[in-house]
Structure 1
Amino acid sequence: MKAYIDKYPDREYGDGDVNAELFPGITEGLRSLTLFFQPIFNSTSHRVIGVEALARFLINDEYILTGELIRHLEEPEFASIYSMALISRLQGFIIQQRNKLDSGFTFSLNLCLFQLCDRTLIQRLVQLKKVAGNNIHIQVEIVERHIHQEIGDDVIEASHFLNQQGIKISLDDFGVESSAFDYLNLVEVDTIKLDKSLTRCREQTLYYKKILQGLLAASRAMNVILIAEGVESEYQKQQLERLGIYLHQGFYYSRPVSMTAFADMLH
C-alpha cells in the first residue's frame, strides 16, 4: 500500500451549510449513509496500520458530515441503528478484502458511551470480530465528549466483555474532557487518540510538549498505545517523532477516503 494517500472527494461542512430540508430522517439517513476510512500511519515505516471508520451521508452528490448530522447520528434513539448499519457495511468490506490486509490491521468504530449498554449492538460487534478473525483487530473508539456521563457498572461490564472477546477499546479525542481520566481509571483501555488540540505546533515546537511527554510516560506505564490526531504538516510529524509518538492520523497523510478508494489502494 502506498505510504501517502491522495485526497479524495469528501467535505466536512460547518453548521448551517446544509439546508434543513436535506437533513435526513432515519429512513433517508440509512439510505444515504456510507462508510469512509481515515488511515492511521506508522510514521517510521510509512505503512497504514489501521483505519478509523467514519460515517458520511450522500447528499446532492457529495459525501458530507456536519455538526447537525453528527448530533443526529448520536441521538440515543438513532445511534445504535446507524452503528449497526455501519458495522454491516464494514463486515462486507472485511469479507471482500481480508486477504489483502496485513496481519494486525485495525478497524476502529466510533461509539457513544451510552451505546455500551445496548446488548444487541454489543453482540453485533462480537459477530463482526468473529468474521474478522484473529489477524484483524476490531476497536471501539469511545467519543470523549460523552465520557462526562456517569460510568455505571453496566458500562464497565460491557467494556470488560468486549476485551474478553478480543475487541479493543480506545478513547477518541483525548484531551477535550478531563473526565476521560475516570474512564482510564475504571476500564482497560488499549489506545488513546490524542485530540488535535494537544498535538498542534506553535513557534517551532509542540505547544503542549510537556503534557505530551507526561502522557507518553503514563501510556508506557499503562501499556497503552498513543495515536496523534490532527497531523497536518511535515514539521508537526517530525516533532511528534522526536517526542516518541510514531502513530499518526491527519490530513498530512490522508483525508477520509471511500471504501472503494481504499480497496483500490490494497491492490
Structure 2
Amino acid sequence: MELKHSKSIFSEPFKPIACDQCRNLEGLGFEFTMAFQPIWDTDLQRPFAYEALVRGMNGEPAYSILEQVNDGNRYRFDQACRVKAIELASKLGLQNQTDCLLSINFLPNAVYRPETCIRATLEASERFRFPTNRLMFEVTEGERVNDSEHLAGIFEAYRRRGFTTAIDDFGAGYSGLNLLAEFQPDVIKIDMELTRGIDRSASRQAILAGILLTCSRLKIRVIAEGVETEAEYRTLTEMGVHLIQGYYFARPEIDNLLQAIR
C-alpha cells in the first residue's frame, strides 16, 4: 500500500465537508494515473488480484502525488482514486479475467459515513461495468488506529456490499495481532519487512508461522508482499503462503495488466 501518512488517521473528527468533496471530484489541482501490480496465486497459477497504485502522469512515483494530498483535498482524492482505478482497470479488461479482484487502497479518515462515501465507487462500477463483488479495499495497518470501531464499521458496510476487505502492511504498524481481536478482514497482507530475507531469518519465520496459525483459525487469507527473490518465494510457499506480490513476479505497470514473469 502506498497511501501512508505520519498523522493519525483518526486524529480529527469527521467533517460534513467530506460529502461535498465526494460529490465533486474535480478541482484536485493535480492529475494522476494508476499502475497495476498482480498478486499471484501460486496454486492456480493466475492473478488473484491486481493492486492499483498511484503514479504521476509521466510515471512519477507515488510520493510525488501523495505529498500534494492535504486536509483540504483528502476526501476528494480518496474518491478520485477509487473512480480512476475502476475506470482504468475496466479499460484494460480486468473484469473479463475470471474471479480476479481489483485492489484499491482507501483512506479511513476520508470515509465520513461508509454507506454515503461509497456512492462514487458504486456509480463508477456501474458506469464502467465493473462487478462490485470483484473489488477489494485495503487499509494500511501502519496507521495508528485510535477508533477501531469506526474502521470495523467501514469493513462491515463494505462486506454488505460484497467487497473484499484487507489490511495492508500487517506486522509493521501499531496494533498487530491486537487489531484482529477487534475485527477480522477477509485478507491481510504481510509487510515486506517481514517477508524480505525470510529465507535467512529464523525469527521472521517464527513470527510468520504465528500469524499464519492465527489467520487459519480466523479464516483470513494471507498475501505476502514485497517478495523479490526465489529464495523468499520458496520459503513462503513452503510455509503455506500461496498469494504472492512483489518484483519477483512483476513490477507495477501503467496501461498494462502484467501476468507473472516467472
Unaligned runs of 5+ in 2: 1-26
Equivalent residue for 2:7?
none
Contact 2:184 2:220 in 1 (8 A): no
In structure 2, give the amino acid aligned to 1:210.
Answer: A
Please state whether the residue corresponding to 1:163 is helix, strand or coil: helix
In structure 1, give the amino acid aligned to 2:186.
Answer: D
Q: 1:200 to 1:99 in 2, by over 3 A?
A: closer
In structure 2, give the amino acid aligned to 1:236.
Answer: E
In structure 2, give the amino acid aligned to 1:241.
Answer: T
Q: Which region of structure 1 is more displaced relative to structure 2, 115-124 or 168-177? A: 115-124
Q: 1:126 to 1:187 in 2, by over 3 A?
A: farther
Distance 1:202 1:27 in 2: 41
Is it true that 1:151 corresponds to 2:147 in the alignment?
yes
Please report the RMSD computed on the Cα atoms of aligned residues, expressed in angstroms: 2.6
In structure 2, give the amino acid aligned to 1:219.
Answer: C
Contact 1:160 1:188 in 2 (8 A): no
Is it true that 1:229 corresponds to 2:246 in the alignment?
no
Deviation, 1:228, is 0.2
Unaligned runs of 5+ in 1: 1-25
Contact 2:33 2:56 in 1 (8 A): yes
Q: 1:210 to 1:225 in 2, by over 3 A?
A: same
Equivalent residue for 1:185?
181
Deviations 1:111-141 (A, max 9, x none): 122223355432223445564326x511110
TM-score normalised to the size of structure 1?
Answer: 0.76
Contact 2:78 2:110 in 1 (8 A): no
Please state whether the residue corresponding to 2:56 is helix, strand or coil: strand
Distance 2:222 2:244 in 1: 9
Distance 2:207 2:259 in 1: 39
Equivalent residue for 1:170?
166
Deviations 1:65-122 (A, max 9, x none): 22x643434x3432221222222223323544255311x2111111122223355432
Contact 1:193 1:226 in 2 (8 A): yes
**Equivalent of 1:140 in 127, 137, 140:** 137
Percent identity over the alignment is 22
